[in-house]
Amino acid sequence: MSADSKPAKGRHAQTARFDLAGGAIALLEPSHAVPLVSIVVALRSGSAADPADKTGLARIAVRMLRRGCDGMTSEQIDARIDLLGAEMAVDTSHSTVAIHAQVIARNLDAFVDLLARLLATPTFDETELAKLKRESVAEIIEARDSDRVVAQKALQRTLFAGHAYGRNSGGTVRSVEAIARPDVVGFYRRSVVKRNLVVGLSGDVAADRAPAVAARIVGGLQEGAAVPDEVGEPAMRPGRRLVVVDKPERTQTQILVGTLGTSAHDEDHAPLVIANAVFGGTFTSRLMREIRSKRGWSYGASARTGVDRHRQSWVMWTFPAAVDCGPCLKLSLELMQTWIADGVTPREVAFIQRYLVRSHAFEVDTAGKRLHQALDVELLGLPADYFASWIERVLAVTPESASAAVRRRIHPGDLLAVVVGTAAQVDGAVRGAMPGLTEASVVPFDAE
């Protein structure tokens, strides 16, 4: 480690981990800075385990937990949550479904009682389920107002076509409508069980009380078994493909270019993260400098590598005016090609290493962030030392290993570009910007 790339002082001790009776585990990150307690109740399985014709099931089933329990209606539950100065939300991904809650610390005990009751005694009332399904369908349709969301969904379903990662966690109109009460009850019995659960607590809770609090939350659940991960490794379809998502009256386009990246277990994972940061991971990255700073073509220009249980996507994103979309896509692809062919320089790698090492302080500056790192290790099956050894692995990356990771993972001949815009205005320009296309299509924005 060089003298000028030391991590900031004050690195925190590892998140406390407890085994709870019946096979659940609990993670604890206390902090008494603010009188709030955050609670995460996360399943070790996510939407990737949904039946292909009932995607959205995991999300619907977990959302149903606050829509009626033994002795309380949905309305009474909502009122109780508000009265305690609490909030609850459900977050669904391919690998986990999690209830995220936060409560004013003085009401922790009362809230834990409520949460335990919601988890252990849901009624899955038919009327409430029908309501939630209608609400979910309306949310899916409303999301079409966001061009960015439309672009992300189109990229995901095309890049991972035929794989569980190609299905949207929230489901489609048709798949949500197909979900019935037995599906929800079956999901609950199979998935909301102790061996499939991780409980996280952070904030203003005493360390010596936390295990008992976590045990109370899951105390009423069956022991069950962890839901197995039956998702296979995704594969990249060869060729250069273009999908134009046609949406009327756009003055701007959303452009995503993607392929597969790495798994967190791959040896070249950290090298690719570093190389990607050089290319599009910071405000002074190559992509930002050329697209935004020099030409003003797009308010943002970035690239990212996803992390999940299996290989996730590598994606670059720009959003130029419709009139600039052709030149912007062409330049983005040229920059990418140069990045692949020439790799990254020692100076660039050293710069990003300093950036990542020193900014590490912001990865762990709150109890909530530290808890979420520990949760990611548990729920995404990351190497146990993924975060703990991150700085060492960043510093071990060389210009050669970073450049090799790009060459190994990103192939200019195997790419998918998704452009959301008004097809009549942009289709010709984006086709012209992407020579060697093996496949091109125009789809309506409300296709899903």
Partner 1 sequence: MPDPAATRGRVGGRADRRAWADQVNAGSKDDAKLSYEGAHAFGPEAVHRWRLGNGLTVLVLTDASAPVTAYYTWFNVGSRHERPGKTGLAHLFEHLMFGETEHLGAGVFDRKLEESGAETNAATWVDWTYYHELLPADRVRLAVKLEAERMQHLVLRDPQVASEKEVVANERRYRVDDDVEGIANEMLYKAAFERHPYGWPTIGWMQDIQGFTPEDCTAFYRTYYAPNNATVVVVGDVRERSLLLSIRDAYGAIPSQPVPAEDILPEPTQLAERRLELKRPAASEKLLIAFKGPALGDADHATLSVLSEVLFGGRAARLYRTLVVDRELALDLRGWVSTFRDPGLFECWATARGSHTAEEIRPVMDEAFARARDEVVGEDELARAKARLELGSLQQLETMAGKAEQIGFFETVLGDPTHAFRRVEAFRRVTAGDLRRVARRYLVDTSRTVLRVIPDTGAKPGETAA
How far apart are the C-alpha atoms of 378 and 374, rounded to whole Å?
A: 6
CA distances (Å), 21 to each of 24, 98, 400, in order? 7, 20, 48
Interacting residues with partner 1 between 368 and 407 (CB under 8 A): 368
Q: Which is nearer to partner 1, 50 or 147 (CB)?
A: 147
Q: Which of 70, 87, 334, 439 binds partner 1 (CB under 8 A)?
A: 87
- How far, rounded to the nearest angstrom, does the alpha carbon of residue 362 sit from its chain's CA centroid? 19
Q: Under the criterion CB under 8 A, does residue 102 sit at the interface with partner 1?
A: yes
Q: CB under 8 A: which stretch of 2-10, 42-50, 110-118, 309-317 binds partner 1?
A: 2-10
Q: Which of 53, 70, 126, 139 binds partner 1 (CB under 8 A)?
A: 139
Other beta carbons less than 10 A from residue 38's beta carbon: 21
Interacting residues with partner 1 between 3 and 32 (CB under 8 A): 8-10, 31
Q: Under the criterion CB under 8 A, does residue 411 sit at the interface with partner 1?
A: no
Q: How many residues bind partner 1 (CB under 8 A)?
A: 72
Q: Which is nearer to partner 1, 49 or 364 (CB)?
A: 364
Query: Where does 372-434 show beta strands of DSSP type E?
Result: 415-421
Q: CB under 8 A: which stretch of 102-110, 221-229, 392-400, 436-444 binds partner 1?
A: 102-110
Q: Which is nearer to partner 1, 141 or 396 (CB)?
A: 141
Q: CB under 8 A: which stretch of 100-108, 221-229, 372-380, 396-404 binds partner 1?
A: 100-108
Q: Which is nearer to partner 1, 33 or 52 (CB)?
A: 33
Q: Which is nearer to partner 1, 147 or 378 (CB)?
A: 147
Which residues pair with residue 415 across a beta bridge? 240
Rg (CA), the chain: 23
Interacting residues with partner 1 between 156 and 185 (CB under 8 A): none
Interacting residues with partner 1 between 263 and 322 (CB under 8 A): 282-284, 289, 292-299, 319-322
Q: Which is nearer to partner 1, 159 or 374 (CB)?
A: 374
Q: Which of 1, 34, 396, 447 binds partner 1 (CB under 8 A)?
A: 34
User: Could you give the 3-state DSSP secondary structure of residue 4?
Assistant: helix
| Least spacing, CB of residue 238 vs partner 1, in Å | 33
Over the window 212 to 251, marking each residue x when it contacts partner 1 by CB under 8 A and - when it does not, the resulting string is -----------------------------------xxxxx
Q: Tokens representing 15?
A: 């998140």
Q: Which phi and psi (to 5°) does residue 417 adopt?
A: -110, 135
Q: CB under 8 A: which stretch of 134-142, 211-219, 231-239, 391-399 binds partner 1?
A: 134-142
User: Residues with Cβ < 8 Å from 53, sequence gap 6 or more?
Assistant: 175, 178
Q: CB under 8 A: which stretch of 78-86, 113-121, 332-340, 430-438 binds partner 1?
A: 78-86
Q: Which phi and psi (to 5°) does residue 383 adopt?
A: -55, 140
Q: Which of 17, 131, 181, 347 binds partner 1 (CB under 8 A)?
A: 131
Q: Tokens representing 318?
A: 């720009």
User: Residues with Cβ < 8 Å from 187, sequence gap 6 or more?
Assistant: 57, 58, 61
| Least spacing, CB of residue 19 vs partner 1, in Å | 29
Q: CB under 8 A: which stretch of 92-100, 227-235, 268-276, 365-373 binds partner 1?
A: 365-373
Q: Under the criterion CB under 8 A, does residue 104 sit at the interface with partner 1?
A: yes
H or E element at residue 352: helix 346-358
Over the window 106 to 125, marking each residue x when it contacts partner 1 by CB under 8 A and - when it does not, the resulting string is --------------------
Interacting residues with partner 1 between 342 and 361 (CB under 8 A): 351, 354-361
Residue 407: burial class (beta carbons within 10 Å; 0-12, 13-18, 19+): middle
Query: Where does 139-262 show beta strands of DSSP type E?
Result: 197-203, 240-246, 254-260
| Least spacing, CB of residue 104 vs partner 1, in Å | 6
The torsion defined by the Cα of 321, 324, 327 and 333, in degrees rounded to 10, comes to 0
Closest among 310, 294, 433, 326 to 380, alpha carbons compared:
310
Q: Under the criterion CB under 8 A, does residue 89 sit at the interface with partner 1?
A: no
Q: Which phi and psi (to 5°) does residue 88 adopt?
A: -140, 135
Q: Under the criterion CB under 8 A, does residue 126 sit at the interface with partner 1?
A: no
85-101 per-residue burial string, b: 16 or more CB within 10 A, e: under 16: ebebebebbbbbbbbbb
